Chain A
Amino acid sequence: MNIYDIVFYLFAAITLVSAFFVVTTRNIVYSAFNLLFTFFGVAGLYVLLGADFVAVVQIMVYVGGILILILFGVMLTNKITNVQIKTGTLQVIPAVIGVLLLAGVLIFKVFLGTEWKSVKTDIPVKTTAFALGKLLITDYVLIFELLGILLLVVLIGAATIARREK
């Protein structure tokens, strides 16, 4: 086990444990703060995979944007902190059977049954932003444009739902 593995398991543990608390805690503020660690852990995993740009975007968009938005939402909404979030479970036995079945298939059939290809390389020092940017305006330019339309739709949709009634 080298230093890379230790860091990987550290980040993976941070992600999983905090994600568990996001789902189980009954206080929405605790949930939001746990989400911070989940996003942070995922960003760390991206760095370990050599995807530096995605990691930075992950931190900027999720931690810097979405999480702050959630916290502001909590702060500005009246009495939302006292709301008990319903995290009870229904249909426990079918759920347990389903999850165990799926997990069994995933672990024994898919995870152990796949020949994983691993390429031994060092983590690239060069940044990936340049290559990504180049791809976005050459091979994937249509996707880039369509994402623009998608954002327009999301804006129109959000405005439509949140508008003042005539």
Chain B
Amino acid sequence: MQDFYNILPLILVASGIVISVVIEILSDNSEKILPWFSALVLLSASVYSIMLMNNTGTIFNGMLATGGNVYIFHFIFTIGAMLIILGSIDYIKKYGSYFGEYYILILNAVLGMMIMASARDLFMVFIGLELMSICFYVLAGINRKKLNANEASLKYVLLGAFASGFVVYGIALIYGTAQTTSIDKIIAGFVPLSHNILFITGLFLFLVGFSFKIAAFPFHQWVPDVYQGSATTISGLMSTGGKAAAFSVLIILLSAVAPSNANVFRPYFAVIATLSMIYGSIVAISQNNLKRMLAYSSIAHAGYMSIGLASGNYESIAGIIFYLAAYTFMNIGAFIVISMIEGENDSKLQLSDYVGLNAKNPKLAALMALFMFALSGLPPFAGFFGKYYVFISAIEANLTWLAIVGVISSVISVYFYLRVIVLMYFKEPETSVAVHNSNYGVLAAVISALFVIVFGLFPGTLLDLITSFLK
């Protein structure tokens, strides 16, 4: 029974899915019940993932890990998705397509992410990945009447299937050489295995598949179109939860090389990090559509986090997890604010629509400014410490040049984040049409803002917690 108690967050979400399906079938009022029900499920799962954080171990014949940093990831996923659901309640009406499946699919995507973070077996990794990805493919195209949503969905499913193919081929080769799919056993035999070229090939294919999921540079082509075409709230979930889940798997791999100094991934991740940071920051400057701009910024952030993967020590693992927690809340907040300003039929997404926002709706302008400051990595917000810890880990791993590239591209990225703030506060609006906000959306954005501020003011608390689980 203890096993079942230890994975209560997973069980809660999984049973929440089944109950949601029944509610959707039986109730005529499902569009009022389902958002609150799924938010409640996610909230209780997040509460339990905090409560059970100290019950570290593996269960089900070493299939899933519980407690520790895994549950920090579960907390990030569930709270993030809950905020997205709060933000969706009013947005989805404006977006022009309400279906109960929307909430069921979000719950399912969260379940997939949680399985990926928990997985201690390559089969589990793959099932979690597919569970999450399939939900995202459908959610991207939930409104069939919109052409660019269709485009986003189709592009994502085709490229995503290709990436999954890489992952499966990688898993097959890893299994062929290691003769086990258990991640712990592979990690135990990692050093002798890493001399086997077939194993390295498998690992490389596996990494390529996941580099696609984290939206790093050579595998980034889908990101701008998919984030722009999907519903804004869904883009928020894909760019945070999806990225965090993929990173959670990469971190497991990294923990194999962290104790020894046999980081075979270093050249790969160093190249990926450099290219993603520079490409994302520079291309984002020329974007006028805010969702597209955040998509390129998401590529750049994947680059900053990959610095941690390249340095490959315990500090970097803690840094990446902290960065992911911070990034999740600031990015979800930004996407929720954008979703409130967005008009019908994808209107009001341009930078020019943000001119003089402070005069039209000071609440939204203040929130947006906070998220932009945080994303650009200015202190005292959480984004600063995320970058700081990752850069420090790079310097400790003798990768100072990578940290310098990171700092340079952060400086470049300050330009396009702060441009939004300048437009909102220091330009006079051309029209004085008021911008309405949704109460639930503001609530979700305020909660995200609180997390961003708290993580920024007391970064040591979270970092010490993460580090204590690593040793």
Q: Which of B105, B115, B197 contacts A160 (CB 8 A)?
A: B105
Interface presence of A120 (CB below 8 A): no
Interface presence of A139 (CB below 8 A): yes
Instruction: Of the listed stretches B33-41, B131-139, B242-250, B277-285, name the one at the interface; the rest are far from the partner chain.
Output: B131-139
Contact across chains for A113 and B135 when beta carbons are under 8 A apart: no
Interface presence of B64 (CB below 8 A): yes
Interface presence of A100 (CB below 8 A): no
Overall SS of chain B's interface: helix
Contact across chains for B60 and A114 when beta carbons are under 8 A apart: no
Q: Which of A106, A113, A142, A157 contacts B105 (CB 8 A)?
A: A157
- With the chains together, A160 CA to B104 CA distance in Å? 11
Interface presence of A75 (CB below 8 A): no
Q: Assuming A114-B197, A153-B105, A165-B145, is B61 touching A139 (CB within 8 A)?
A: yes
Contact across chains for A150 and B131 when beta carbons are under 8 A apart: yes
Contact across chains for B108 and A149 when beta carbons are under 8 A apart: yes
Contact across chains for A143 and B124 when beta carbons are under 8 A apart: yes
Give the residue name and chain of the B residue nearest to A138 (CB). B61
Nearest CB of A to B109, in Å: 9
CB neighbours of A114 from chain B (8 A): 196-198
Q: Assuming A110-B197, A143-B124, A153-B105, is B14 touching A161 (CB within 8 A)?
A: no
Interface presence of B351 (CB below 8 A): no
Q: Mark A146-166, 1 if CB is under 8 A from B, else 0.
A: 110110111011011101011
CB neighbours of A152 from chain B (8 A): 17, 21
Contact across chains for A146 and B115 when beta carbons are under 8 A apart: yes
Nearest CB of A to B164, in Å: 13
Interface presence of A95 (CB below 8 A): no
We find that the number of chain B residues with CB closer than 8 angstroms to chain A is: 35
- With the chains together, A144 CA to B63 CA distance in Å? 12
- With the chains together, A16 CA to B142 CA distance in Å? 38
Contact across chains for A149 and B17 when beta carbons are under 8 A apart: yes
Give the residue name and chain of the A residue nearest to B121 (CB). A143
- With the chains together, A48 CA to B130 CA distance in Å? 30
Interface presence of B141 (CB below 8 A): yes
Interface presence of B451 (CB below 8 A): no
Nearest CB of A to B373, in Å: 38
Give the residue name and chain of the B residue nearest to A106 (CB). B201
Contact across chains for B134 and A150 when beta carbons are under 8 A apart: yes
Contact across chains for A156 and B21 when beta carbons are under 8 A apart: yes
Binding site for A on B (CB under 8 A): 14, 17, 21, 60-61, 63-64, 97-99, 101, 104-105, 108, 111, 115, 121, 123-124, 127, 130-131, 134-135, 137-138, 141-142, 144-145, 153, 196-198, 201
Listed from nearest, the 9 A-B pairs whose CB atoms lie closest are A157-B138, A160-B101, A114-B198, A142-B60, A113-B197, A153-B108, A146-B127, A142-B63, A110-B201
What are 17 A-B contacts with C-beta separation under 8 Å? A114-B197, A139-B61, A141-B60, A146-B127, A147-B127, A149-B108, A149-B131, A150-B134, A153-B108, A153-B131, A156-B138, A157-B135, A160-B105, A160-B138, A163-B99, A165-B145, A166-B98
